[in-house]
Amino acid sequence: MSEAADRHALVTGASSGIGAAIAARLLGEGWQVTGVSRGEGGPAHPRYRHLALDLSDLDAIAPALGDMRVDALVHAAGLLRVGRLGEADPADGARMWRLHVEAATRLADVLVPRMAEGGRVVLIGSRTATGAAGRGAYAASKAALAGLARSWAAELMPLGITVNVVAPAATETPMLSDPARGGLAPKRPPLGRFIRPEEVAAAVAYFLSPEAAAVTGQQLVICGGGSL
């Protein structure tokens, strides 16, 4: 991986929530960060660049990235739509799959082949990936990220590039109060509070650190005791 002053990460969903916390954490550690979101957003920082891009427009991803090279790809952009079996809107499921899974694949297809040895990929999954009533399509799209990560990790191991997943439980982000939840309240972890975005960012920073060079194909679940 490049020296600290030269490390460059692309972080999706960087305008708010977990993505914004990740961008701030990496900037604090000396990274250059390109933050992706649909609208303007992100910290005012000399090492931060904003890239306006709607990741649901899959065919726009490669042209928008151009010849960009990064040391790390962090896919934090997310969307939650809820609905029980027989009631969920199929279009909502398609949107979540497109953003969580297909966009991740398009980004990796472009950026990973350009990475040098020591490159890193981190996908933001969810504790919900193990299943939750009323969140079937969301859970399925997040569960797919674990399969992608392990498959890519096996492919990229000879190149010295690692791929991992950070999967938090309900986190203090705008998603918690999104009207699209349709009255389906977030489940507070047994710890007694929601996960903080900064805690997720810290886990991402670990996977991007030199100390995690031998860790690949893994999923770190930040459950607040929910898996006990």
Q: Which residues are known catalytic residues?
A: 138
Nearest one of 225, 219, 166, 228 to 197, comparing CA atoms? 166
CA distances from 97 to 80, 101, 129, 210 (A): 11, 5, 13, 32
Sign of the CA dihedral running 28, 33, 36, 42:
positive
- Could you please report the per-residue DSSP string of 9-22? EEEETTTSHHHHHH
**Helix, strand, coil share (%) of the chain residues, nearest 5:** 45, 15, 40
Give the span between the Cα atoms of 103 and 61, in whole angstroms: 8
For 78, the 3-state DSSP assignment is coil
CA distances from 109 to 18, 62, 73, 113 (A): 23, 9, 11, 7
Nearest one of 91, 111, 92 to 103, comparing CA atoms? 111
Q: How far apart, in Å, do the first and last CA atoms of the chain sit? A: 36
